[in-house]
Amino acid sequence: MNIHEYQAKELFQKFGVASPEGKVANTAEEAGAAAREIGGSGLVVKAQVHAGGRGKGTFTNGFKGGVHVIDDAEKAQEIAGQMLGQTLVTHQTGPEGKLVSKVLVAKAVDISNELYLAILFDRQTSRHAIIASTEGGMNIEEVAEKTPEKILKVFIHPGIGLQAYQCRKIAAALGLRGKLMGQTVKLVSALWNLYLKSDCSLVEVNPLAVTTDNQVVALDAKFNFDDNALYRQKDVVAMRDTSEEDPREVAASEFGLNYIGLDGNIACLVNGAGLAMSTMDIIKLHGGDPANFLDVGGGASKEQVASAFKIILGDPNVKGILVNIFGGIMDCNVIAEGIVAAVKEVGMSLPLVVRLEGNNVEAGKKTLAESGLAITSADGLTDAAEKVVAAVAAA
């Protein structure tokens, strides 16, 4: 799950991470009022979308930049008016862009240096890692590729947590000494505390800015939260903005399904993440393109399976469906009943290839056979992939 920058600022404030004051606005008038409340001469207006690269982005109406540093409240209101209700395209939104329905108005700072700081979960070492770089405000993947020596990685021991010497090492690598080192140590510890307590899987501050009056502040923030920990993060869940998410994924999460929408046209309904991955691979191998990743899990109910099938059928790009079930914990007949229930409710004219194997497979096959649905049954992964790719090509 992701949140907006203005919400990230609320978390920063709660955990004591230094960041300029800001307010969210839904209309140009609200933006003007927010700017007057914040006061002062330097302000920044920032489009609120779940994507980075806003500064260099362009609105589909031609207006340039999702981040504008301006002088006064009047200008803040005018810029907010240009952004709100418009679609912003950045290198992270895809060509279709994202609709801007909120802007952040914040106190602008005079920047002397832009740095990079992130905390994330490192799968290779199974530890949380802090990433720091002097190359702030840029695309960090590019920095990692071209100048990896400019990136410091610090791993956090699960038993003893973040140590003060590690924070000092980070500050030193960023070239921050004296008073700035003290501020950085404080900021990094506060950020770590926030990351841990809020069950984040990523906190990225880019840029971490050093101001001309010698302050270290978080100027931008990207957060990812561990979905499996959301049950104990009520405050975080309250920040969820489903209008920013793929509607198919929102529906799937309501039913506790692991679903990720993709660009292809062959929908897959699979149990188990590993089998779901290999099903996508084998579709690709045989020249097809998966429309989604969908793992209904081991203990799915008939209702969950029916919901999964309805989400698949609701996607206009889907031209064929492959159901690939290996019933270990899963009962094959529960899958079959879910499919039949969903099709009876919403109808279906797409080719459907089903490979069922394992627990209660005979009953599952019987349910499908007696349903009257036009189903192509398959034996094994290769046969299933070949059949569904051929059916979609012929359709």
Long-range contacts of 132-138 (CB under 8 A, 24+ apart): 132/170, 132/173, 132/174, 133/174, 134/173, 134/174, 134/175, 136/206, 136/207, 136/208, 136/209, 137/206, 137/207, 138/206
Residue range at the interface with ligand GDP (CB under 6 A); choices 44-52, 195-203, 223-231, 306-314: 44-52
User: Closest separation between CB of residue 5 and Mn ion, Å?
Assistant: 9
Residue range at the interface with ligand GDP (CB under 6 A); choices 71-79, 107-115, 265-273, 366-374: 107-115
Tell me the Ramachandran region of residue 70: left when phi exceeds 0, alpha when psi lies from -120 to 50, beta otherwise: beta
User: Is residue 111 a contact residue for ligand GDP (CB under 6 A)?
Assistant: yes
> 114 is in the binding site of which of ligand GDP, Mn ion, none (Cβ under 5 to 8 A by kind)?
ligand GDP
User: Closest separation between CB of residue 352 and ligand GDP, Å?
Assistant: 43
User: Closest separation between CB of residue 177 and ligand GDP, Å?
Assistant: 23
User: Is residue 206 a contact residue for Mn ion (CB under 5 A)?
Assistant: yes
| Residue 194-233 contact track with ligand GDP, rule CB under 6 A, x = bound | ------------xx-----------xx-------------
User: Is residue 44 a contact residue for ligand GDP (CB under 6 A)?
Assistant: yes
Q: Within a 10 A sphere around the Cβ of 144, how many other Cβ atoms?
A: 14
User: Closest separation between CB of residue 88 and ligand GDP, Å?
Assistant: 10
Could you tell me if 28 and 80 are in contact, meaning their C-beta atoms sit under 8 angstroms apart? yes
> 219 is in the binding site of which of ligand GDP, Mn ion, none (Cβ under 5 to 8 A by kind)?
ligand GDP
Task: Please confirm, yes or no, whether 204 is among the known catalytic residues.
Answer: yes
Q: How many residues bind ligand GDP (CB under 6 A)?
A: 17
Which among 363, 298, 294 has a CA at the least distance from the CA of 332? 363
> 108 is in the binding site of which of Mn ion, ligand GDP, none (Cβ under 5 to 8 A by kind)?
ligand GDP
> 109 is in the binding site of which of Mn ion, ligand GDP, none (Cβ under 5 to 8 A by kind)?
ligand GDP
User: Is residue 137 a contact residue for ligand GDP (CB under 6 A)?
Assistant: yes
Cα R_g (the chain), whole angstroms = 25
Interior/surface letters 15-26, b for 16+ CB within 10 angstroms, e for the rest: bebbbbebbbbe
Task: Please confirm, yes or no, whether 10 is among the known catalytic residues.
Answer: no
Name every residue whose Cβ is closer than 8 Å to that of residue 385 and which is 6 or more positions away in sequence.
279, 282, 283, 285, 286, 288, 322
> 111 is in the binding site of which of ligand GDP, Mn ion, none (Cβ under 5 to 8 A by kind)?
ligand GDP
Name every residue whose Cβ is closer than 8 Å to that of residue 22 and which is 6 or more positions away in sequence.
6, 9, 38, 104, 105, 106, 107
Task: Give the residue with the Cβ less far from ligand GDP, 150 or 286.
Answer: 150
Could you tell me if 130 and 276 are in contact, meaning their C-beta atoms sit under 8 angstroms apart? no
Q: How far is CA 363 from the centre of its chain?
A: 39
User: Is residue 109 a contact residue for ligand GDP (CB under 6 A)?
Assistant: yes
Residue 30 phi, psi dihedral angles, 5° rounding:
-60, -35
3-state SS string for 153-214: EEEECCCCCCCHHHHHHHHHHCCCCCHHHHHHHHHHHHHHHHHHHCCEEEEEEEEEEEECCC
Query: Which of these is catalytic: 6, 116, 195, 259?
Result: 116
> 386 is in the binding site of which of ligand GDP, Mn ion, none (Cβ under 5 to 8 A by kind)?
none
Question: H helices within 228-322, ranges in order?
Answer: 234-237, 247-254, 273-285, 302-313
Task: Give the residue with the Cβ less far from ligand GDP, 1 or 109.
Answer: 109
Residues 48-87 that bind ligand GDP (CB under 6 A): 52-55, 67, 69
Query: Which of these is catalytic: 135, 204, 337, 386?
Result: 204
Record the tokens describing residue 235, joined without a space.
Answer: 């405050």
The partner residues of 218 in beta bridges, in order of sequence, read 208
User: Closest separation between CB of residue 221 and ligand GDP, Å?
Assistant: 8
| Residue 212-251 contact track with Mn ion, rule CB under 5 A, x = bound | --------x-------------------------------
Task: Give the residue with the Cβ less far from Mn ion, 220 or 331.
Answer: 220
Interface with Mn ion by CB under 5 A: which residues? 206, 220
Interface with ligand GDP by CB under 6 A: which residues? 44, 46, 52-55, 67, 69, 108-109, 111, 114, 137, 206-207, 219-220
Residues annotated as catalytic are 116, 204
